[in-house]
Amino acid sequence: MTTTTRRTLLGAAATAPAWGALPMSRARAQAANTVRIGVLTDMSGTFRDLNGPNTVAATRLAIQEFAARGFNVEMVVADHQNRPDVATATARQWFDRDNVDVVTSLAASSVALAVADLARERNKVAIATSTATSDLTGRACSPNTIHWVYDTYMLSKVAGAAMVRAGGDTWFFLTADYAFGHALERDTTGFVRAAGGRVLGSVRTPFPGTTDFSSFLLQAQASRAKVIGLANAGVDTINSIKQAAEFGITRRGTKIASLLLFITDVHALGLEVAQGLVCANTFYWDLNDGTRDVSRRILALAGGDMPVAMSHAGDYAANLHYLKAVADLGVAAAKASGRDTVARMKAMPTNDLAFGEGRIREDGRKLNRAYLFEVKTPAESRGRHDYYKLLQSTDAEEPWRPLAEGGCGFIRS
């Protein structure tokens, strides 16, 4: 059921003779000298815009940039359809038969947790770049997993606390009725209370299967809370925001805190509706010369008009750092042990155009700066994908859950 496309990407491979023409010994030598990256991602479902073609392009960019350092890099791509069973079946085949060394992207929390388990069992590497659950570096942490870009803890801390500071001290949550929504509501409630705010109520909206949120929005409005917190994602968030604007909720002074909002969601909403929303992200294409450069190159490879989101930046940066660690460790050692590769990735400081300087903590959490953005008005936007203005930024350590609070098992042992 999975669609697998293979691309051999290194320039060397293009000039090499076809596989069939190689003498056996040389073919084996070639395989031993080749690192294989498996991009296991959502190409066709809800998260296609956060992953999809831009993720493939970002990974390819990292590989291209790293070319010709004495080993070959190949990429395979598969669509996991957001189903953990499909994802683990594909990853198992990749690990056991196709000689894949690292699985990246992963997206949906359920998929990431399942594949991370498998990677640990097979001693390979799993790098999650658009997964939300903070359990990945907490209760479910593993010495073979790295979690890049964002998590529920960071989102609720940066966005939640900022809203309370700005005067939004009473909250009502619209929460998607599944693990992710519950976690986001729980974490945000903690930060709102810690900052001196109050939570007046919440409503659990069925997931999936809710298209009309106006009933829930009216309940939120009836609570007279100053802030409506959206603990949901993707199309649910888009529908909630669109309908909040329609029912005049934002115009009458109630603020919407969209706890997980990607630039692709803003793109889908249009600035007319999305203007004024506040969101926490770790990357925006127009932050500095580096982010502009990397975004331009990802878009050039991907084609299309989908803005480069933080998840795509993560695909680029994580793969680049992985390849640096492989080069440092040596291909043979890296292929032999995913755990050693991850340990080396943690030992080396990260530095890339997308996220700047940072590091990977013992529990696998990638630490870098986070930003609070406000969505521009149509009048403020000057060009394609010009959607955000920067409100504030954190340092690299501050937004993330402290190591001791995560409950990660393997560190203590």
Partner 1 sequence: MDEIFGIPAPLLFGQLLLGLINGAFYALLSLGLAVIFGMLNVINFTHGAQFMMGAFVAWMLLHYFGIGYWWALLLAPLIVGFTGVVIEKTMISRLYKLDHLYGLLLTFGVGLIIEGLFRNQYGSSGMPYRIPPELQGAWDLGFMFMPVYRGWVVIVAIVMCLATWLVIEKTKLGSYLRAATENPALVQAFGINVPRMMTLTYGAGVALAAFAGVLAAPIYSVNPQMGANLIIIVFAVVVIGGMGSILGSVVTGFALGVIEGFTRVFYPEASATVIFVVMAIVLLLRPAGLFGRA
Name the minimum Å distance from CB 408 to partner 1: 32
Nearer to partner 1, 46 or 351 (CB): 46
CB of 283 to partner 1, least distance (A): 17
Q: Which is nearer to partner 1, 203 or 391 (CB)?
A: 203
How does 264-301 read in b/e, with b if 16+ C-beta sit within 10 Å?
bbbbbbebebbbebbbbbbbbbbbeeebeebbebbbee
Chain centroid offset of residue 228 CA: 24
Q: What's the rounded Cα separation, in Å, for the pair 370 and 152?
A: 13
Does the CA dihedral 106-109-113-114 come out positive or negative? negative
**8 A C-beta contact, residue 320 and residue 62:** yes
Longest dimension (CA), the chain: 75
Minimum distance from residue 309 beta carbon to partner 1 (Å): 10
* H or E element, residue 102: strand 102-105
Shortest gap between Cβ of 248 and partner 1 (angstroms)?
A: 5
Closer to partner 1 by CB, 289 or 305: give it. Answer: 305
CA separation for the pair 116, 110 (Å, rounded): 10
Query: CB of residue 150 vs partner 1: minimum separation in angstroms?
Result: 17
Contact by Cβ (8 Å): 182, 394: no
Nearer to partner 1, 212 or 398 (CB): 212
Please tell me whether the peptide bond between 208 and the residue prior to it is cis, using omega within 30 degrees of 0: yes
Please state the φ and ψ torsions of residue 288, each to the nearest 5 degrees.
Answer: -160, 180
CB of 305 to partner 1, least distance (A): 9
Q: How far is the CB of 249 from partner 1 (least distance, A)?
A: 8
Nearer to partner 1, 208 or 349 (CB): 208
In the complex with partner 1, which residue's Cβ is closer, 164 or 306?
306
Rounded to the nearest whole angstrom, what is the least distance from the CB of residue 379 to partner 1 in the complex? 16
CB of 184 to partner 1, least distance (A): 17
Choice between 144 and 189, CB closer to partner 1: 189
Considering the complex, state which of residue 36 and residue 267 has its C-beta at the smaller distance from partner 1.
267
With respect to partner 1, which residue has the nearer C-beta, 147 or 312?
Answer: 312
Residues that bind partner 1 (CB under 8 A): 44-49, 52, 177, 203-206, 208-212, 214-216, 218-219, 222, 234-235, 238-239, 242-243, 246-248, 252, 264-265, 267-270, 272-273, 304, 306
The H-assigned helical ranges of 33-141 are 52-65, 84-96, 109-121
| Percent of the chain that is helix, strand, coil (3-state, to 5) | 45, 20, 35
Q: Rounded CA gap, 109 and 78, in Å? A: 17
User: C-alpha distances in angstroms, 230 versus 186, 213, 227, 303, 326?
Assistant: 12, 11, 9, 32, 40
